[in-house]
Structure formats: C-alpha cells, structure tokens
Amino acid sequence: MNLSAHQIAICLAVFYLLIFISSYVFFGKSKHKIGIIALVVIGFFIRLFVSGIDPFLQDWDERFHALVAKNMMSHPLTPMLRVESIFPYNISDWCCNHVWLHKQPEFLWQMALSMKLFGVNIMAMRLPSIIMGTISILLIYDIARLWTKENEIAFLSASLFSFSFYQLELTNGSIASDHNDVAFAFYVTASIWSFLRYIHSTKKTKWILAIGLFVGLAVLNKWLTGILVFGGWCLYLLLKKEKISKNSSWWDLLNSVIVSLIVFLPWQWYIMKNFPAESHEVYEHNRRHITEVIEKHYGGLRFHLDEISNLYGTGFFIFILLGIGFVFYNKKIDKNLSIALISMVAVVYVFFTIVATKMSGFTYLVNSIIWVLIASGLLFILSFFKLSDRPMKILKLSTIAIITFFSLKPYKIIESRTSDNIARNNKIYNTQIFRNLDLTGDLKGRVILNCKSFQDTELMFYQDVTAYQWHPNEQVLDSLMNLGYQFAAFRSQEGYYLPAFITKNKAIKIIEEDLR
C-alpha cells in the first residue's frame, strides 16, 4: 500500500475521529464495555494501516529480523541470516554472518509462524506485532483498572497507548529493534498484568503459572531485564511484611521463578551446546553494553529522561510526576502496590542510565506503568475543576482529543512519507526490482553480488537466493567457480563499481536493472 502523504493524513484523521467517538461512548454515555471494545477494534485497524503504509523492509533492524524469521520457517532451531554462507565471515558481525544469535528467538518464531500461515510477505511478517499491540490495549486497560480502581484512568491509559506514535512505528518496523521491542514490551506487560491479577484473585495457581510463563517468554525475546516483575513482586511482599511460612506467598514467587526458568533456560543450553562460539560471542556482546558504547549509541545521564518525549509525548513528563502524586494521594489505591510498580520504573531508568550504551527502546519495557501514571496525572488535574456532570464530560473529551493528538504525533507519521522523500522512493523502487527478479532463467541457481549496502538481506527475503552486498576478490571468486558455484551481479552503479575480472568474465551474468 503506497499512499501519498495527503491520503495518509486523511486516514489518520478518520482514526482520530473514531477514537473520539469511542471516548464519547465511554465518558459521555458511560457505556464502558462498548467503549473499550471499540477502542481495541480501532487500535487493531490503525496498527494494520500503519504497518501497510511502508511497502518495504525497514533498514534497522527489520530487514535482518525478517530474513532470519523467513529462514526459521524451515530451520526453527537454527537461526540463520544466510542458509548458505559461501564467503568467509566474522561471527561477531550480526549484519553479515551465518548463524544468527544476535537476538533471542521467540519473536522470530512468531514471525516465522505467521509467514508459514500467510506466506512470505511484509504484512504477514508484521502481523504478530499488530496482534501483540492490540492485545496490549486490553492489558494496559486492566492494569490501570486493577491498580487505580478508576475506569476512566484505565480507558485513558489504553487510549494513549492505542494511539502511541512510538508503538505504532515499532509495529511498522521504522524504529530500531522494531518487532523485538514490541514482543519484549508485550510479554513484560503481560507479566505485570498477571501479577496484578494474582494479587486480586483468590485462585492463585493459574496466575503463578502465567507470571512465570510471560517472564520466561520476555527473557526469550530480549534478555534478563524480562525478570523485572519478580523484583516488584519481591518488594511488594517485603512491604507487606510477608513472613516465610508453609502457606507464604514467597513460595508462590519461587514457583513462578521456576516456571520462567523452565521456559527460557533450555534455549540457552541448546545454543551453548550447538553453537558454542556464536553463543559466547552474543552473551559477551550483551555484557559489553553495560561497560562500553556499542555501535555509537552514545548518550549522557539525561538521555532516557529526555527520550520520554519521544516514547510517550511532548511534555508528558509532568503528567508522570503528577500521576505518581495521585496514586499515593488516593486512599483507594494500594500504596504497597504503587511502590512496587513505580520502583520497577525507577530501577529500569536508573539501570539504563548507568549502562554505557544508550538506545531509546531500552526503557520501553515499563511503558504500561508509565501510561497509567500519565493518565492518572491528567485526570488528577481535571479533578480540580469543580464542574457539573455535562461540562465535566465535555472537558474530559476535549482533553482526550488534545492529549491523544500529542501521543499519535500524526505530523511525524506524515512528514517521513512525503512524495519528495528520495530515500523512501528508492526503497520502494528497489523493492519492486527484488520482488520481480526472474530467477527461473539465466539467474537460476546463481549467487547474486553487488547489491547495495545491506539490501542483500531484502533480496534474500523476497527471493530464495544467496546474495551479497559486495564481491570477493578474484582468487576467492575463481576458487568458488571451480567448485561449481555460478554468479550474477548487479551492474556497476555509483559507489558500487564492479572490477574488470567480473565484468569481463562471460560466465558471470550481469543484471542490467539499476538499483537506486
């Protein structure tokens, strides 16, 4: 779906109108069930829409995730960037290696399953993120309701998340770590939701299992920050002065930890046994994030606080502070629970402030708690207006209209997709070449060389072929041809010039299409 900026603006305006209508149903008509169902449906379709407006693989990191997921359709226990890697490679170069353990596998399995069901295409690849984002609307609604006991805070929290620019662009693949961060945030959110359900339920066992399962899946998506809820749970028990006894809740926590270990440890054992060099490299790479600036991801002590505007909305930091005040001021709210949840946020922000490598998405795992605080802060302000019922409803609806606009940031969605965006137009053009490349004739069985930078991954996603963004030296090429390998190469283009030993070799097919 290649829409103009004007068409995108019209569609976003329609979604914006729909969110206002669902808010009117919830606040104006007090039909809470219908309002939240409408919000979830709207949330699904806006994710479907935003995921479809870029008909190409995004640069960082979606194209790599997509290719590995495609290969996992046939090799689910062997994550590979290339099924066949014929040139030498460095196992530490996650952009260009063979066995790909750079990320934990769970989100890749989801993408692989989706493409197994619906075919190898961009929308099938993005579908798990669309679904997880949609389910998260309900999870955040219920987290807010169970925590604050306020349906209005719950709906506003869910609305802000539903129309969150950052979350939508993650789902679209436009922001680094894309579907990996969507899945990680989803499973951490699910673990927090299960924890609140555990607290409010008399039937604890299923929630003990659920917390452990979701924590295990969170770790199996990103890494050990996925155990965050266990820290909050432990603090909650300490604040309640829970003693260790036969029927103590501490045993519930221990059992949940055991469940999580059962979920995520087998994969760690498997890769250490089968891919010892690669697994050691990736664990060391993860550790180095703490002490070194990896891949030029610099940032000062204020980095993650400054990024709150990017992740949530301009000026939203003040609402977070007010929300913290509200949850402690409101006597209906469990103070011990508030301390436990807010401490999770504090620990995440302090930890990643200390960590040398800085990336916006590192703190996004606690987004569910922060959305509740933002909504609490907003409605806390409105509570000071002493208005009758009808004017108060109008004020709340007006506030939602304004605040969801700053959460959605439609101007940012549109400005990166204008008709004069050369990089975007080139991506669309090259994608068509990759999709339509005929590999049944002269190109059948050939290894393709001289793709543009990292676009070999895109070609290999659309076609069952081995491709490279560069070419080897003459000696390596000759030795491989003597082994029976056949080659083709995209013609010389600016910055990607073929040497004479390739252009004059009649056994090598030159692809005449110009890549942009």
SS (H, E, C) 234-300: HHHHHHCCCCCCCCCHHHHHHHHHHHHHHHHHHHHHHHHHHCHHHHHHHHHHHHHHHHCCHHHCCCC
Residue with the two structure tokens 């990166």: 416
Rounded to whole angstroms, the Cα distance separating 211 from 203 reads: 14
**Cα within 13 Å of Cα(158), Cβ side:** 33
> What DSSP line would sit under 98-143, residue for residue?
SB--SS-SHHHHHHHHHHHHH-SSHHHHHHHHHHHHHHHHHHHHHH
Which phi and psi angles does 161 have, rounded to 5°?
-65, -45
| % of the chain exceeding 90 in pLDDT | 87
CB 51 within 8 A of CB 130: yes
* Domain layout of the chain by residue ranges: 5-415, 422-511
Rounded mean pLDDT of 100-125?
A: 98
Supply the DSSP symbol for 510: E
Query: Which whole number is the average pLDDT over 308-324?
Result: 96
Report, as an integer, the average pLDDT of 62-68: 98
Query: Is the pLDDT reported for residue 410 higher than 80?
Result: yes
Report whether 2 contacts 428 (CB < 8 A): yes
Residue 143, CB-side half-sphere exposure with 13 Å CA sphere: 32
The four Cα atoms 142, 143, 144, 148 give a dihedral, to 10 degrees, of: 110
Q: What is the pLDDT of residue 463?
A: 97
Least confident of 102-116, 286-300, 380-394, 446-460: 380-394
Phi, psi of 247 (to 5 degrees): -105, 25
Q: What is the pLDDT of residue 412?
A: 94
Tokens coding 236: 């909650």
Q: Which of 341, 330, 339 is nearest to 371 (CA)?
A: 341
**pLDDT of amino acid 246:** 67
Report, as an integer, the average pLDDT of 253-278. Answer: 98
Q: Once rounded to an integer, what is the mean pLDDT over residues 416-442? A: 94
Name which of 4-18, 189-203, 376-390 the model is least confident about. Answer: 376-390
Q: Which residues pair with 490 in a beta bridge?
A: 511
Percentage of residues of the chain with pLDDT beyond 70 = 100
Q: How would you class 354 by CB atoms within 10 Å of its CB: exposed for 0-12, middle for 13-18, buried for 19 or more?
A: exposed
pLDDT at residue 19 tops 70: yes
Average pLDDT score over residue span 339-368: 97
Q: Tens digit of pLDDT for each residue in 360-384?
A: 999 999 999 999 999 999 999 998 8
Residue 449 φ/ψ, nearest 5 degrees: -110, 170
Q: Which two tokens stand for residue 438?
A: 């005929």
For the chain, the C-alpha Rg in angstroms (whole number) is 25
Cβ-Cβ contacts under 8 Å for 9 (sequence gap 6 or more): 410, 414
**Exposure string for 370-387, b = 16+ CB within 10 A, e = fewer:** bbbbbbbbbbbeeeeeee
Query: What mean pLDDT value characterizes the chain?
Result: 95
Q: How far apart are CA 472 and CA 494, in angstroms?
A: 18
Higher model confidence: residue 3 or residue 12? 12
Q: For residue 176, list its beta bridge partners.
A: none
The pLDDT value recorded for residue 241 is 85
Select from 233, 229, 232, 218 the least CA-distant residue to 263.
218
Cα 455 off chain centre by: 22
Whole-number pLDDT of residue 386? 82
Report whether 419 contacts 5 (CB < 8 A). yes
Burial of 174 (0-12, 13-18, 19+ CB in 10 A): buried
Query: What is residue 393's predicted lDDT score, i.e. its pLDDT?
Result: 84
Q: Which helix (H) or strand (E) holds 353?
A: helix 335-354
Q: Work out the pLDDT band at 29, boundaries 50, 70, 90.
A: confident
Beta bridge partners of 489: 449, 510
Q: Cis ω on the peptide bond leading into residue 61 (within 30° of 0)? A: yes
Average pLDDT over residues 450-470: 96
Counting beta carbons within 10 angstroms of the beta carbon of residue 182, is it exposed (0 to 12), middle (13 to 18) or buried (19 or more)? buried
Mean pLDDT of 242-257: 86
Residue 30 has pLDDT above 90, yes or no: no
Task: Put residue 295 in one of left, alpha, beta given phi > 0 → left and psi -120 to 50 → alpha.
Answer: left
**Averaged pLDDT for residues 206-233:** 98
Of 89-98, 235-244, 269-278, 333-342, the range with the lowest mean pLDDT is: 235-244
Which residues, in sequence order, are CB contacts of 106 under 8 Å at separation 6+?
A: 183, 187, 217, 220, 221
- Which spans in 355-489 are helix H? 367-382, 389-408, 410-415, 422-436, 456-462, 474-482
What are the backbone dihedrals phi and psi of residue 402, each rounded to the nearest 5 degrees, phi first?
-75, -45
Please name the amino acid found at residue 10. I
Closest CA to 343 of 254, 437, 230: 230
Q: Is the pLDDT of residue 8 over 70?
A: yes
pLDDT tens-digit map of 472-511: 999 999 999 999 999 999 999 888 999 999 999 999 999 9
488 bridge partner residues = 448, 509
Instruction: Please state, in angstroms and rounded to a whole number, the distance separating the CA atoms of residues 28 and 162.
Output: 20
Specify the 3-state DSSP secondary structure of 494: coil
